[in-house]
Amino acid sequence: MDLVIPKTAVLVDIVQADRECGEFYLFLNQVSPLRNGPQTLEEFLNSQQLFIPAKRALDGRFQIVNGRNIIYIREKEAVGEQPLMLIQVELRNQETLLVGPYEPMPAANARPIDFLNSPHVFLAFIQGQTRIYINKNHILRAGEQ
């Protein structure tokens, strides 16, 4: 009997509140528990797991990262989409990012405050050509640009 669950490795940059940042591999399920298809990084990050296993790309060592300590995670793979709205986000680590919501919202709920008040902890944005997942507990202020 094989108890190994197949996973898909995703290379990301993780920025943590203690100023540690680096490239890590996160391991996603090949089947999403919420829908048809593979698990997305957004589903993984918002799955209520407090501690996240991550493998450092530099040396292959595993770490268990406290999700509350993560400010944001940036995917390495480029996306070809451009956001319809830009939001300037000020973070606790004194970084300011110009990002756009990854998925368009219905017109009735398309304000930045509606997006920021969604039930998810990690919010999916686009910055440049990549997806970035910001832990909203580390957002100090935000405003539409």
Task: Give the Cα separation of 131 and 121 in Å (integer).
Answer: 16
Residue-range definition of the domain harbouring residue 44:
7-73
Q: Do 57 and 97 belong to one domain?
A: no
pLDDT tens sequence across 70-126 = 999 999 998 887 887 899 999 999 999 999 888 766 666 668 888 889 899 999 999
Partners of residue 51 on adjacent β-strands: 66
My answer on whether 38 and 85 are in the same domain is no
What is the model's pTM?
A: 0.89
Q: Considering its fold, how many domains does the chain have in total? A: 2
Residues 93, 135, single domain; the answer is: yes
Backbone angles phi, psi at 65, to 5 degrees: -100, 135
Contact between 100 and 81 (Cβ < 8 Å) = no
Per-residue confidence (pLDDT) for residue 104, from 0 to 100: 67
**CATH number of residue 140's parent domain:** 2.30.30
19-53 pLDDT, tens digit per residue, is 778 999 999 988 777 777 888 899 999 988 899 99
| Residue 68 resides in a domain | yes
The full DSSP string for 72-87 is: EEEEEEE-----SS-E
Residue 59 and residue 81 in one domain? no
Q: Mark whether 66 and 108 lie in a shared domain.
A: no
Nearest partner of 35 among 27, 46, 43, judged by Cα? 43
Residue 1 forms part of a structural domain: no
- Give pLDDT, residue 112: 82
